[in-house]
Amino acid sequence: MRRKRREPGFDTLSIHAGQEPEPGTGAVMTPIYATSTYAQPEFGVDRGYAYARVSNPTRTALEKNLAALEGGAHGLCFASGMAAISALLGLLKAGDHVVVSDNVYGGVFRAFEGIFRNYGLAFTWTDTTDLRALEAALRPATRLLYIETPTNPVMRVTDIAGAARIARRRGVPLAVDNTFMTPVFQRPLELGADVVIHSTTKYLNGHSDSVGGALVLNDPALAEKLRFVQKTTGAVLSPFEAFLVLRGTKTLPVRMRQHEASGRAVAAFLAAHPRVKRLYYPGRKDHPNYRVHARQASGFGAMVAFDLGSLAAARRALNRFRLFTLAESLGGVESLACHPASMTHASVPEGRRNALGITPGLVRLSVGLESLEDLLADLKQALGR
Ligand SMILES: *Cc1c(COP(=O)(O)O)cnc(C)c1O
């Protein structure tokens, strides 16, 4: 009797995909191949590696690992999330147009408006939670649809499958920044997206000790073009950082399950707190995009933002935290708190920020893996009665 081979489960992939014991010694962990070049056995022959900007075995292992987790055929790792995003824009040429979610990571706004606009690219910032607005923003010259869901920091949710249908009909590739959800909760390629973007700095590495980025996709021709950009512009992930992220992804599913359990509990606490004027968490039923998010993702994550109504109130709370560390970034084992308007989104003009909900009173939390009782106690004392 022949049996169909079972596909390995996600937790198994996170530990094993892309990684085999090292053939020379049997080392179970992929070594850090600290080398810039590779000996060629004879003239005109190499062993698949020629120069380390082009490829490195530690990086290759991570690229395969991330591709497997996102359900994609190709993974490419970069020196940062912004380097990955910049490589993606390296596919475009002067005159091309891009439709972008109006609320995205602040650095994306800075790069698109501060650098790529000067290269002759045009950007339309749109509320992509509204698919009609998204479709109306597309032009004949549109060559990329770029979304983030849920968004940083006000947690707006775009219907990925809906956006993918529109993009496909118009022949425009759809890129989705999946940093907040990770493939544990959301797999955009399975919903029809063409490229998935990650800042591995966040949950994938998960320990706040490296900076990196990745792109994952299925289309071989597009992957070829991106590999060309990657090796040519050279903002590649170092083997040491690749090793750290590989170590991180082994525990990604267990970390995310705990992050999410605590994230929900923190959101429930904040929802009931009298000082909280507004809460942003896609796992609350009163979130405007709750149903869309629940349909396309299997979890809600651990990023929670809330508005205390004024800069003074936000400053007071942020200065009173003892366990939550006042810092930018997110997705690490330790809980962080930040003030998006003056920190992560300072490069977004004030009027724009306020229109998006990134007000002076907004506080963003990355809920970590400390004991939940300790996190809630810290929130309670920081917010006061
Ligand atoms: C941090 C972040 C980025 C940028 O990644 P870096 O690794 O800091 O360059 C992009 N998108 C999102 C959603 C992020 O949180």
- Interval between CA 104 and ligand 1 midpoint (Å): 10
| pLDDT computed for residue 7 by the predictor | 85
39: CATH? 3.40.640.10
Of the candidates 177, 194, 307, 378, the residue annotated as catalytic is 177
| pLDDT computed for residue 348 by the predictor | 85
Domain-embedded: residue 201: yes
pTM score, two decimals? 0.96
- Each residue of 59-76: b (16+ CB within 10 Å) or e? bbbbbbbbbbbbbbebbb
Tokens encoding 36: 């810039």
Q: Are residues 260 and 237 in the same domain?
A: no
| pLDDT computed for residue 2 by the predictor | 62
| pLDDT computed for residue 385 by the predictor | 66
Q: Which atom of ligand 1 is nearest to the CA of 329?
A: 1
Residue of 152, 151, 150 whose CA lies nearest to 328: 152
Model confidence pLDDT, tens digit, residues 181-222: 999 999 999 999 999 999 999 999 999 999 999 999 999 999
- Interval between CA 28 and ligand 1 midpoint (Å): 31
Mutating to test ligand 1, I would choose from 200, 202, 241 the residue with most ligand atoms within 8 A of its C-beta, which is 202
Q: Are residues 187 and 293 in the same domain?
A: no
Q: Are residues 346 and 246 in the same domain?
A: no
Q: Are residues 48 and 87 in the same domain?
A: yes
| pLDDT computed for residue 1 by the predictor | 53
Q: Are residues 311 and 357 in the same domain?
A: yes
Domain-embedded: residue 1: no
Residue whose pair of structure tokens reads 């955009």 in the numeric block: 188
* Region for 208 from its dihedrals, namely left if φ exceeds 0, alpha if ψ lies in -120 to 50, beta otherwise: left
Residue of 269, 274, 270, 362 whose CA lies nearest to 313: 362
Domain-embedded: residue 221: yes
What is the arrangement of strands in the sheet containing 336-338, beginning at the earlier edge strand? 278-280, 303-307, 362-366, 336-338, 325-326
Rounded distance between C-alpha atoms, residue 150 and residue 289, angstroms: 9
299: CATH? 3.90.1150.10
Tokens encoding 164: 């993918």
- The residues pairing with 51 across neighbouring beta strands, listed in sequence order, are 37
Q: Which atom of ligand 1 is nearest to the CA of 151?
A: 13
Q: Which strand (E) or helix (H) includes residue 372?
A: helix 372-383
Model confidence pLDDT, tens digit, residues 311-343: 999 999 999 999 999 999 999 999 999 999 999
Domain-embedded: residue 307: yes
Q: Are residues 271 and 166 in the same domain?
A: no
Rounded distance between C-alpha atoms, residue 176 and residue 146, angstroms: 6
Rounded distance between C-alpha atoms, residue 162 and residue 265, angstroms: 30
Q: Are residues 54 and 201 in the same domain?
A: yes
Of the candidates 143, 156, 202, 353, the residue annotated as catalytic is 202
**Atom 8, ligand 1: residue with shortest CA distance:** 81
- Average pLDDT score over the chain: 96
Tally of domains in the chain: 2
Domain-embedded: residue 207: yes
Q: Are residues 229 and 316 in the same domain?
A: no
Q: Are residues 56 and 174 in the same domain?
A: yes
| pLDDT computed for residue 263 by the predictor | 98
CA within 13 Å, CB half, 294 = 10
Q: Domain range spanning residue 294?
A: 252-383
What residues of the chain score a pLDDT lower than 50? none
Domain-embedded: residue 265: yes
| pLDDT computed for residue 6 by the predictor | 83
Q: Are residues 202 and 321 in the same domain?
A: no
Q: Are residues 241 and 262 in the same domain?
A: no
Domain-embedded: residue 3: no
Domain-embedded: residue 2: no
Rounded distance between C-alpha atoms, residue 197 and residue 104, angstroms: 12
